[in-house]
Amino acid sequence: MTTAPNKLPLRWDLFCQVIDNHGDLGVCWRLARELAAHGQRVRLWVDNAAALAWMAPGATDGVFAGIEVRPWTTPLNPADLATLPPADVWVEAFGCEIPPEFIAARAGGSRDHSNPPIWINLEYLSAEAYVERTHTLPSPVLQGPAAGWTKWFFYPGFTPATGGLLREVDLPARQAAFGRAAWLRAQGIDWRGERLVSLFCYEPPALPALLRQWAEGDVPTRLLVTTGRATAAVRQAIHNDSGLQPLMVQRGQLSISYLPHVTQTAYDELLWACDWNFVRGEDSLVRALWASAPLGPQRAAPPFVWHIYPQPEDNAHHAKLDAFLDWLGAPPSLRAFHHVWNGIAPGPLPAPDLAAWGACAAAAQARLVAAPGLAEQLIGFVQKKR
């Protein structure tokens, strides 16, 4: 794994707005953590840090692992801003905009106007073609106290012409030390060798049919359901489907374990423990890719199915999903399963070919490991611009 050039640590202001899920905060926390692991000093500004209480316990207690979590109030107090050491880098995550009073405190008057921060517009993850075309393009600031400064688009991505994916330096060592049976015992899960499936989703229309398939199938399956919308979706499916109503935690070949909120580290371990992972949004997709490696001689790479964030107003997620499946090299059955799972195509779910799907995921993971991660690339880009 490559590392960023060895230069003096920089100070970063990373801005995050929590919209309607925990994904934005999850990605920003992982990024802040990786920047700090590379010796950077990070202030994470977030408008709602409540989820960090379970995602990263201790994160909001002053400076945690080199990261200072600061409340993004509206407005920010100009007197407080005036006393902050100026940052070398500003990062606007996922379309949020740095508050005008924050910009004015740095750019107003003569204070540091001749030495502006490197201003990054960190975009959402996509495999679509425009990502390579627009990655690292400049966007001049034309008005306001920062007029004359420049923002830079920075796109995470899956190819060498993009900003890469978040990957921890210690990830291979953590995976090598992981033991499934011990982890399941620690979670209080009475595992008896059945197939393990994790479920992190929105409200997929095909969920009732999949639950019925597992309940009536030939393979004993234990479903590990994450808390929140996935748990609500499973319980609603059982409530609405007369054939599933007897299913509380077990019916036929299917048993269900409802999980509490887990830390980011524990979620990684959940994916490593399972034989098949259902993920949603951006952060868990990346985690499923890193999990898609053989974990010992007796275990094949776990395949995954992605529930992409729906954009019903224009169905832009359809093209985004297909671009990812193209990059992945998804077998036809995996592509068809994704289309039904995401409500893009009608009809029954295709029969899974978990061996082929796992091999596809493992090959994709091997391609990704050869490239530097997102934090490393960000640091390298900033250092070149300074």
Q: In angstroms, rounded to a whole number, what is the distance separating the alpha carbons of residues 254 and 221?
A: 5
CA-closest candidate to residue 126, choices 156, 98, 147: 156
Sheet containing 138-140: which strands, arranged edge to edge? 63-64, 67-71, 41-46, 11-16, 89-93, 118-122, 150-154, 138-140
Instruction: Catalogue the active-site residues.
Output: 24, 282
For 308, residues 6+ apart whose C-beta sits below 8 A from its C-beta are 280, 281, 317, 320, 321, 324, 342
CA-closest candidate to residue 133, choices 113, 148, 153: 153
Q: In angstroms, rounded to a whole number, what is the distance separating the alpha carbons of residues 89 and 383?
A: 10
Q: How many other C-beta atoms can be found within 10 angstroms of the C-beta atom of residue 314?
A: 8
Q: Write phi, then psi, for 365 (nearest 5 degrees).
A: -65, -40
Q: Do 127 and 324 form a contact (C-beta atoms < 8 A)?
A: yes
Q: Do 291 and 300 form a contact (C-beta atoms < 8 A)?
A: no
